[in-house]
Amino acid sequence: MLCSMLFCILCAVGLGAPGLKNEKRGDKLWVPTDTPAQGDKNYVDANFGSETRFAQVILRSTTNGANVLTPTGLAALENVAARVRNANIAWEGATYTYAQHCYKMGATCYEKSVLNAFANATAYGSQSLIDAALSASPLTSENPNDGSTVLLKNVAGGITMTGAVPSASAISLTYLFKNNDVLRNGDYVDEKGDAFDSVVLDIFANPPSGFSASYVTERSFSDEFGSTIQSDLQKLQIALFLILAYAALTLSKWNMGCVGSRVGVTLAGIVSIGMAIASAYGIGAYCGLFFSPLMNVLPFLLLGIGVDDMFVIVNSYDNTEARVDPVERMGRSLRVAGMSITVTSATDVIAFLIGSSTSLPALKNFCFYAALGIFFDYLYQITFFTAFLSIDERRKSENKADCFFCLDCPPEACCVCCTPKKMPKSLLQIALGDGLGKQLGKKPVKIFVLAFFSAITVGGIIGSTKMQVDADVNNFIPDGSYLKNWFADTDAYFTEYGDAVEIYSKSTLDLTTEDSILRAATAAFTANPYVINESVRSWVDDFYTYHTTTNGVTVTSLNYIPSLKTWLSTAAGSQYKNDVVFDDETSPTAIVSTRIHGNHIKTDKSNVNVQAMDTLRAAINAVSGNNGRIFAFGSQWLNYEQYKSITSEAIRNISITLAACFVIIAMLVIEIKTVVSVSLALTMIFVNIVGYMHFWGLTIDSVTVIMLVIALGLAVDYSAHIGRAYLEKTGTPDERIVRTLQDMGVAVWNGAMSTFMAVLILGSSDSYVFQTFFKQLFLCIVLGLMHGLIFLPVVLSMLRPAAYAEAT
């Protein structure tokens, strides 16, 4: 025990030496490092800085469906806008104002709404003025202040037309603010921006009388997700307590009085799991592996596997002859239990190591940590835990109380414990062995079992073929959150404009002589079927129009840059000032980079997002003369890259992991019929988990892929333990079913039930992650137990594999 503890401390020193490197940035966790979007993002950040902060409010009349393109509606919007313009916060001993915080396009703060179509409040003072302004050019209007186009369907929702006159059920007000984030503890932090967002949220939450508001700011997502996580941590603590309580109750022999209590043994098992977690984290830190939020589920995985191993060891010990010396008993029990947990642990370790070959960084690191954790759990179970179990047996033989070795138990407990005899069958042994086992030995029952599980598998296959790859951020928002209202209004009223996307030119494109190539790229951008053509705002086209028609000055390579610089300072060109980067803002001699804005069509289908990215990227790359000097990129493309890779990653990782499981099982179980049977059961379990996930409303995303890997790790135990135990029993095939279930079946059942009780607690979570965790582990445990305790024994009894030589 001491050696195990010292070794654990040595491993865990890694937590304090290099320390755990935290990583919370989504693009570093869920996007493959070799995707084009990663490199493009680095270029964009280097030349245009970090992304801006986003805030939006949507106003609707409290009279359902009423038109808000009215003097009253626009006055309400102006009321909110005016309060935001007057907002300020106290920061570092000074007043930080809206004018300082807003993102400027030229000299004007970015503030997008239907109000941009009017010069001032007088211009929308009557309904006739509003109708005239908004119907002059259907669904578009010109900003009288800078000449930019106001797209009505981008700032108003639920639009209906009466002739040329529009009406709308919702209007939006959108802001962009400066981003001052810094990297801290693996995540981007902008405390000043968050503080200003709090003021803006208070304004948005209090709309003028007669209007309702739905709203969002940059900090909304972290706030709402964080509140859910705190609630879930409490549920995890309850789940841990339930596992402890169940293990202590089932491991103890209550007919032996206080001597038979095994609370101490249970605590030792949990301590060994905790040592495994600490050792895994320490070695991971030594190896430079980062620590992500995904690692929060690793203790739960190790708890499930570790408690299962603990039940197998104790159950094997209890099944040995009580008259034998405790040291000899432990040797005999480990000969059986040790090999069984070696099979499952080795399979899990190899499976997770192979899973670490994934290109998703978060999943890669998780698999490494999981492999380390399972290895250390195995190591401490067969050293620390078994040593404590031996000490506890000595405590029983000396008639000492559990956990309080200095106290003697009552004499009646002594008499019970000190009469050496084999433990009587428990109720669970009777139920599984004499009850279930004998029923499974009947031929009609075997036929029914095969038919029943075939039907279940057919359903699983059907569900698997219908499984969709989809990711919806709305899933992660807890019920009751104000963000739910914003997403609902956005989906209901603003149905055309999707994610922003841009095309960028590099310094290697000499725009003074090759701006026609950029204009050709703009044409390809506009013509793309996944881009809203009127959303495209091209500085190069507007500049070309200006100097060829409006200005009438011939632009050559000699005066191109001075002419562009001058135009960007005009009212018409100022909207593009942030879209052109010069080598020197004062006396420019070269253009470093430029960008042209647009929007994708709106869709809630991940596969459509991927098609939009791929087709636009291909269209821009195909522009004649481009040669990689112009590229397309949107901030959401990092997510699109994840959608694109998730299917192939899931199929690849799961397939290789399953194959590895089969190979390891074959190497350690050896007997070919049993290997085939266990592999078949494991495959059926996995197919059914995926298939019934679909029927339960789940899709393939970054969360479910990870949970599938965890479920596979747990599912191996159910079948492998039973398959190994069957080979260690003698007698007729049906007698071996009974003996397998009353011995190993009890340990498998208890291990699964302890995890199942914890999983039920997670089902009440408001978090999508833990709801998904609940659904997938529920399927894993139920299907794993059914296949392990019912299907597999029937198949083995029909195939009749020979028992191991030592068993005979």
Write the pLDDT tens digit of every residue in 542-560.
999 888 877 667 788 888 9
Distance of CA 321 to the CA centre of its chain: 49
Mean of all residue pLDDT scores within the chain: 86
Which of 159-168, 332-341, 399-408, 639-648 holds the top average pLDDT?
Answer: 159-168
DSSP E strand boundaries for 262-343: 290-291
Distance CA 320, CA 193 (A): 66
- CB contact at 8 A, 114 and 153: no
Distance CA 539, CA 565 (A): 12
How buried is residue 185: exposed, middle or buried, by Cβ count under 10 Å (0-12/13-18/19+)?
exposed
Supply the pLDDT for residue 416: 46
How buried is residue 570: exposed, middle or buried, by Cβ count under 10 Å (0-12/13-18/19+)?
middle
Tell me the per-residue pLDDT of 500-539, one tens digit each, with 9 for 90 and over.
Answer: 999 999 999 999 999 999 999 999 999 999 999 989 999 9
Cα distances (Å, whole numbers) of residue 372 to 290, 479, 634: 14, 36, 38
Structure tokens at 550: 């409006």
> How many CB atoms are located within 10 Å of the residue 529 CB?
11
Confidence of residue 95 (pLDDT cuts 50, 70, 90): very high
Percentage of residues in the chain having pLDDT higher than 70: 91
Query: Which residue has better confidence, 263 or 779?
Result: 779
**With 90 as the cut, is the pLDDT of residue 709 above it?**
no
CB-based contacts of 229-233 (< 8 A; 24+ apart in sequence): 229/767, 231/765, 231/766, 231/767, 232/762, 232/765, 232/767, 232/769, 232/770
Domain boundaries, the chain: 45-218, 224-474+641-807, 497-601
Residues 6 or more apart whose CB falls under 8 angstroms from that of 72 comprise 210
Confidence of residue 143 (pLDDT cuts 50, 70, 90): low
Residue 698 corresponds to which amino acid? Answer: L
- CB contact at 8 A, 751 and 377: no
**With 50 as the cut, is the pLDDT of residue 270 above it?**
yes
Average pLDDT over residues 386-405: 79
Cα distances (Å, whole numbers) of residue 421 to 312, 322, 401, 413, 417: 21, 5, 20, 15, 9
Distance CA 680, CA 674 (A): 10
Distance CA 516, CA 404 (A): 86
Confidence of residue 658 (pLDDT cuts 50, 70, 90): confident
Confidence of residue 419 (pLDDT cuts 50, 70, 90): very low
Supply the pLDDT for residue 732: 94
Query: Which residue has better confidence, 463 or 294?
Result: 463
Tell me the per-residue pLDDT of 558-573, one tens digit each, with 9 for 90 and over.
Answer: 889 999 999 998 888 8
Confidence of residue 140 (pLDDT cuts 50, 70, 90): low
**With 80 as the cut, is the pLDDT of residue 408 above it?**
no
Supply the pLDDT for residue 417: 47
Give 569's Cβ-side CA count (13 Å radius).
7
Distance of CA 116 to the CA centre of its chain: 39
User: What is residue 214's three-state secondary structure?
Assistant: strand
What does the DSSP 8-state code read for residue 804? Answer: P
Confidence of residue 12 (pLDDT cuts 50, 70, 90): low
CATH class of the domain defined by 224-474+641-807? mainly alpha
Supply the pLDDT for residue 637: 94
Burial 203-228 (b: 16+ CB within 10 A, else e): bbeebbeebebbbbbbbbeebbbeeb
